[in-house]
Structure 1
Amino acid sequence: MTAVVRILLRRIVLLVPLTLGIVLFVFLVMRFSDVDPASAFFQGANPTPEQLHEFREENGLLDPLPVRYFAFVGDLLHGDLGTSVLTRGEVADQVLTALPLTMQLTFLGLGVAVVLSLLGGVTAAVYRDRLPDQIIRVVSLTGVAAPGFWLALLMIQYLAVELGWFPAGGYINPADSFTGWLKTMTLPALALSLPVAAQLTRIVRTSVVEELDKDYVRTAIGSGLPPRVVVGRNVLRNALVNPLTVLGLRVGYLLGGAVVIETIFSLPGMGKLMIDAVKNGDPAVVQGVVLTTAFGFVIVNLVIDILYLLVNPRLRDSAA
């Protein structure tokens, strides 16, 4: 068994207690919240105490907490996220309907952030302490300080309302119109990705500058290799280790930020689903959205770990 496979297996095994911890945390938070599923079910009516008791008994709400927890875990293992107390529909069906849009927004924002940070960070490092570097550093510092929701509101005001370049909200399925989908997703993706791109730009710049100062770079350039070849073939790959680590942590921001951005742009994704569930007092749906988002964060970080191994030969060598 190779060193890389051993490292990956070790990471996968460590995901088991992490996942169980997430499940336990979400279960306890939802069970000790002030939201009563029985009262939410009879929302708008005037149920008697007997009706409330009967509902709680039928749905296992009167069982001891450990019994409810193990039943909850058993349902999760079968892909059952519970039943909405308002619609009486499966939460998993609602999540599967809303999840594709959130994934589109998250990965589109991730792609924009990666492209912008690589272009900005490498350019700033190559032109260190010169005008392009100074401009990029000022812009990236501004982007780090600017909240995503504030950027979203500015984009709606100027790019959508005043200039009319993009729609202010709504969603078009890419199967119906790819151009329409791209227009509806451009502003949300930019609002979500720009703060992450600004932070990554600064980290990419620092990593590339450190690599450019190493002896092998000066030797390669002195031997006649074009600087762009040295940067693209050697420097960039070695400099990606630290940005990849930060990128894994920022995926959580992208997933969480998508909830706010979807609400601002009226996108029918996981964010709207959770906000509606919170307003209507539907704890099963809130629980399902939170768990799905947490599991997505865990899986994406596993992918980042794999990429980290691919670009960091020193880690593979030390493991070997």
Structure 2
Amino acid sequence: MVLALLRRLAVLLVSALVASVLIFLIMSVLPGSPAQVALGTGATPDAVRALEQQMGLDRPLPTQYVEWIGGVLHGDFGLSYTSRQPIGPQLFDRLSVTLWLVLGGMVVALLLAVPFGVIAALRNGRPTGLVISALSQIGVAIPAFLAGMLLIALVAMRWNWLPPNGYVVPATDPVGFLRHMILPWLALGLVQGAVLTRYVRSSVLDQLGQDYLRTARAKGMTATAALRRHGLRNASIPVLTVLGVQLVTLMIGAVVIERVFVIPGVGSMLSDAVSNRDLITVQGIVLVLVVFALLVGFVVDVLYTVIDPRLRVQAR
């Protein structure tokens, strides 16, 4: 078990290292000079070369990579090409905002998907199951940004129940934080919950057809009791894979919702950096997002082993 965990951890570290090299190389081969962008079109060639030397862009690529990744390992992502301010503090502040957004949206999705997916499976072919399946299909077809705009138009603008946009630091005003985050959470959670509901339904239906559940029902247990006692753990394994993918998708796609609700997260920071051609900031943000995706995959692998005893035996 410990050896299997160490192997997965080694794969995670090697994958992160390879990803950092690829990200650095891709950013390095993009056309144009960051120094030229920072100085503007009217800058002289001598001024551009001087700023490139100051930025360290005139040194060999291996030297630039080693210096960059060494700083990243110590939390130093370098200086922004446009503002000349440290990237790390701003990136970590923005990351905390995005994590609140993503985790809240995922909680909403789970609160919707698990009960409704199980009910849809238990009532498969009946009116209740058909209604849930139809609603989840509609939810899958609606983009998150459209759901956000509809929520703003109805809940915020027409009914005036919640603020339409903005962000409040939770430590400063917890109530204001919740009021501002409810609509973004719903926009993400309703759409992702619809997708997840269909996977929960499919997984539970698969387990309901297994021999061990039929045996449990033959012994006098109801379908709900047999599923709760014996089937939910097995049904959660394929759902866990989808959940990990959705979490990564939410993190990477947060830029859209952050723009709709004017939330100062990583997505907005990435969009601004791309617009300003601030490549070193883009480089740091993309690396953080890739490492987040790798960490989610690592956690999902560990949870597989925790949930499925067969994998624990295999690991031994």
C-alpha contact (below 8 Å) 1:244/1:304 kept by paired residues: yes
With structure 1 as the length reference, what TM-score do the two structures score?
A: 0.93
Q: Which of 75, 78, 102 is the aligned partner of 2:74? A: 78
C-alpha contact (below 8 Å) 1:112/1:193 kept by paired residues: yes
1:93-108 correspondence to structure 2 within 5 Å:
93-108=89-104
Q: Which amino acid aligns with 1:76?
A: V
User: Is 1:120 paired with 2:132?
Assistant: no
1:25-174 correspondence to structure 2 within 5 Å:
25-43=22-40, 46-174=42-170
1:166-185 correspondence to structure 2 within 5 Å:
166-185=162-181
TM superposition shift of 1:257? 1.7
Q: Distance in 1 between matches of 2:97 and 2:55?
A: 31
C-alpha contact (below 8 Å) 2:145/2:257 kept by paired residues: yes
TM superposition shift of 1:219? 2.4
Q: Distance in 1 between matches of 2:217 and 2:161?
A: 45
* SS of residue paired to 1:240: helix
C-alpha contact (below 8 Å) 1:124/1:132 kept by paired residues: yes
Q: Distance in 2 between matches of 1:161 and 1:34?
A: 44
Q: Which of 273, 278, 294 is the aligned partner of 2:290? A: 294
Match of 2:268 in 1: 272
Q: Which amino acid aligns with 1:154?
A: L
Unmatched runs of 5 consecutive residues or more in structure 1 = none
TM superposition shift of 1:273? 1.4
TM superposition shift of 1:226? 4.5
Q: Distance in 2 between matches of 1:209 and 1:243?
A: 12
Q: Which segment drifts farther, 220-229 or 101-110? A: 220-229
Q: Distance in 2 between matches of 1:35 and 1:268?
A: 28
C-alpha contact (below 8 Å) 2:78/2:87 kept by paired residues: yes
1:238-257 correspondence to structure 2 within 5 Å:
238-257=234-253
Q: Deviations over 1:235-258 (max 9, x none)?
A: 111100101011112222110121
TM superposition shift of 1:124? 0.5
Match of 1:284 in 2: 280
TM superposition shift of 1:13? 0.8
Q: Deviations over 1:238-286 (max 9, x none)?
A: 1001010111122221101212111111011111212222222322222
Q: Deviations over 1:5-39 (max 9, x none)?
A: 22221111111221122112211221122352212
Match of 1:23 in 2: 20
Match of 1:195 in 2: 191
C-alpha contact (below 8 Å) 2:122/2:224 kept by paired residues: no
TM superposition shift of 1:315? 1.7
Unmatched runs of 5 consecutive residues or more in structure 2 = none
User: Is 1:7 paired with 2:14?
Assistant: no
C-alpha contact (below 8 Å) 1:35/1:281 kept by paired residues: no
With structure 2 as the length reference, what TM-score do the two structures score?
A: 0.94
Match of 1:186 in 2: 182
Q: Distance in 1 between matches of 2:234 and 2:313?
A: 15
Q: Which amino acid aligns with 1:297?
A: A
C-alpha contact (below 8 Å) 2:136/2:195 kept by paired residues: yes
Number of corresponding residues: 316
Q: Which of 294, 307, 315 is the aligned partner of 2:303? A: 307
Q: Distance in 2 between matches of 1:306 and 1:35?
A: 43
C-alpha contact (below 8 Å) 1:211/1:217 kept by paired residues: yes
Q: Distance in 2 between matches of 1:174 and 1:168?
A: 17
Match of 1:213 in 2: 209
Q: Deviations over 1:140-171 (max 9, x none)?
A: 11222221112111211222211222211001
* SS of residue paired to 1:172: coil
* SS of residue paired to 2:145: helix
User: Is 1:230 paired with 2:210?
Assistant: no
